[in-house]
Amino acid sequence: MSTQTAAAARAATEPRRTGAARPAAQQTRPAIGFLAPFIVLYLLFIIGPALYGLVMSFFDTSLVKPGLAGFAGFRNYAEALRSSDFWSSLWHTMWFTILTTPPLIILAFVFALLADRVRRGRWFFRLAFFAPFILPSAVVALIWMWMYTPLLGILHVSLDKIGITAPNWLGDPNWAMVSLAITTVWWTLGFNFVLYLAGLQEIPRDLYEAAAIDGAGPWQQIRTITIPMLGRTTTLVAVLQVIASLKVFDQMYIMTSGGPNFATRSILEYVYDESFTNYRVGYASAVSMLFFLVVLAVSFVWFSIVRRQEKEV
């Protein structure tokens, strides 16, 4: 209370600097007040644990022992960087991102374009594409595990009917990640789809009319109007998608538990295994911190590439 009154008194006695500064200063305090619920939760559940994780990463902290335990310095980091498990699981996450990001952007765009052109029953297509996104990961995993079942699953049976031998979707180390990527594309396509659909509706219709009068065909219209006008949406979709793909955990944990032979263990599952199964919270925190740096770097590079392209367009 006292600080508030003191601040108010100071604000009152302070001379006006510029006309604009005063309203801004007046608005800051209520703004902070309105933001407080968010800021408190953010500090409590994001910043706090992150700092705690950073501290733990320098200790041999155990899940089942009280306190931070012995000081490890950079030993946990050194161990992670030397560990082949760390690098292979990091690569699995990257590989998953590479497999899912392009289809999730391109297919979402194509489907949004098609759905936008539908005259009657557009709501149905919007719903159809968005519906999988609202399913919980466990439900999605279950549906696809049934479909991927060797010999009995619908994919095997249907491919068999047209004379193609289906791979062992989740059992073959070379196919397991591809199968997970297919599942993920089906599951999360709806989110990008909705973003694109919203973007499409923002484009003024008269641009198309003008182009049509000038004799531009549908393909030319897409290439020269739709794609450039959706530049900002694409940036947003691309960045959100890369980050979402890097954070993959649920599908793998449920559908393959990282197998076969660790071929689909993502970096987050490695963190989970080390911290909760092996009780090595300190080491797992170090791995999380390294992964955080990777995500930061990837997002930054990716964001700057996409932004530059957007400007060029």
Partner 1 sequence: MASISRRNLLRGSVAAAGLAGLAACSSPLVSGLTASREVAGSLDFWNLFGGGDGVRMQQMLDAYQRAHPEVAFSAVTLAWGNPYYTKVSLATLGEKPPDVAVSHLTRMKNLVNAGLLQELRPDDLARHGLTSDKFNRRAWETGLVNGKIYALPMDTHPFVMFYNTEVCKKAGLLDADGNLKPLTSPEAFTAAMQQAKQATGAFGGVVAFTSETATPWRIFQSLYAQLGGEMLADEGRQVVIDDAKAGQVLTFLQSLTRGGAFPANADYQGSIAIFANGQAGFFFQGEWEISTFQTAKLPFSMAPFPNVFGGARYACQADSHTLVLPRQASEDPARLDRSLGFVRSLLDQSKTWTEGGHVPAWLPFQQSAEYRAMTPQSNYASAADAAVYDPDGWYSGSGSNFEIISGSVVGAVLAGQLSPAAAIDQLHTQLGNLATTASPI
Q: Does 279 bind partner 1 (CB under 8 A)?
A: yes
Query: Cα separation of 81 and 210, whole Å?
Result: 58
- Among 2-10, 92-100, 218-226, 273-281, which window interacts with partner 1 (CB under 8 A)? 273-281
What 3-state DSSP class applies to 136? coil
Q: Does 277 bind partner 1 (CB under 8 A)?
A: yes
272 vs 303, which CB is nearer to partner 1? 272
Q: Does 224 bind partner 1 (CB under 8 A)?
A: no
User: Minimum CB separation from partner 1 for residue 79, in Å?
Assistant: 8
Q: Which residues of 228-267 are buried (b: 16+ CB within 10 A; e: fewer)?
A: ebbbebbbbbbeebbebbbebebbbbbbbebebebbbbbb
Q: Does 166 bind partner 1 (CB under 8 A)?
A: no
User: Minimum CB separation from partner 1 for residue 259, in Å?
Assistant: 8
Nearest to 58 by CA among 41, 36, 80, 35: 80
Q: Does 124 bind partner 1 (CB under 8 A)?
A: no
Task: Count the neighbouring beta carbons within 10 Å of the beta carbon of residue 91.
Answer: 12
100 vs 251, which CB is nearer to partner 1? 251
189 vs 267, which CB is nearer to partner 1? 267
Q: Which of residues 55-114 bind partner 1 (CB under 8 A)?
A: 60, 62-65, 70, 79
Return residues touching partner 1 (CB under 8 A).
Answer: 60, 62-65, 70, 79, 171, 257, 259-261, 273, 276-282
